[in-house]
Structures are given as structure tokens and as C-alpha cells.
Amino acid sequence: MVRHPHGRKVDHRHRAVEASNDALRVLRLLLEMHGPVVLYLGPDADGYTPVCVRREDFRPQAGDVLAGQTTWHTQLWMADRFHIGFDDLDVSIEVRNRPHPGSASLEAACGFRFALRIDQVEAAAGFVEEAS
């Protein structure tokens, strides 16, 4: 278990999370504007569109998992309904040009939204085994 900055114990399945160049540029802009941020795929999310919030405003709920982190130390958190089977997935962060209407996510004010690209790791693992 890992302790969140606000003192709560939370599950932890930390791994590196890739981000596209565009996503890194938007993250850098948000970091300059707001300080450290967190991407959160909440229980009511569609499974692909995390919300970006200031780290100091983020309060993980019971069952939330720190699923990974970008090279710029931006954490990716997921509600328990999404992290099951996460170890078999390759997740990367991309940026889209259209924010969801009425979104409270920080990047929406800049005219963007983050999206997760999720791929099965299984196919790549099979290829590596065959090549060995």
C-alpha cells in the first residue's frame, strides 16, 4: 500500500505510462498554469477519458489505484472497475481537439481533452516469445 499525500492508504500498481508528444505539451502547459496535476479515470468515466485535476485537489476513493505515472511525474489513477486486468494492457495518453461539453477537466479550458489509448500487451509478448 502507498500513502496518498492526504494520508489515506491506497492500492498501488505503479508503472510507466507513455504519453504522445502532443499530450506532453498540454501537460507541460497545465503544469505551468496549475502546478502538479493528476489524471483520474473515475468510476463514472467512459474508460478512455480521464479527468485532469490539480494534485492538491485530488482525493482518491476506496478502491482507487495509482496505475502509473508519465515521465513528468503526472500520476494516472483509476477507479477499481478499470484497473482489473490493467497488467495485461499497454496504456498511453493522447490528446484530442474537442473537450467534452461542460467538462471540469483542466485541459478543457485550453480546448483539449485527454484520451487513453489501450492496447493488449498479449500480442507483443507472444511475438517476443516466438522471436527468442
What number is the average pLDDT over the span 108-128? 70
pLDDT band at 22 (very low <50, low <70, confident <90, very high): very high
User: How far is the C-alpha of 91 from the C-alpha of 5, rounded, in Å?
Assistant: 24
Predicted pLDDT of residue 75: 93
pTM metric for this prediction: 0.77
pLDDT above 90 coverage of the chain, percent: 36
pLDDT in tens, 42-97: 988 888 899 999 999 999 988 888 888 887 789 999 888 877 666 667 788 999 98
Asked if the model's pLDDT at residue 27 lies above 90, the reply is yes
Strand runs (DSSP E) across the chain, as ranges?
2-3, 9-12, 18-19, 37-41, 51-54, 65-69, 75-78, 89-96, 113-120
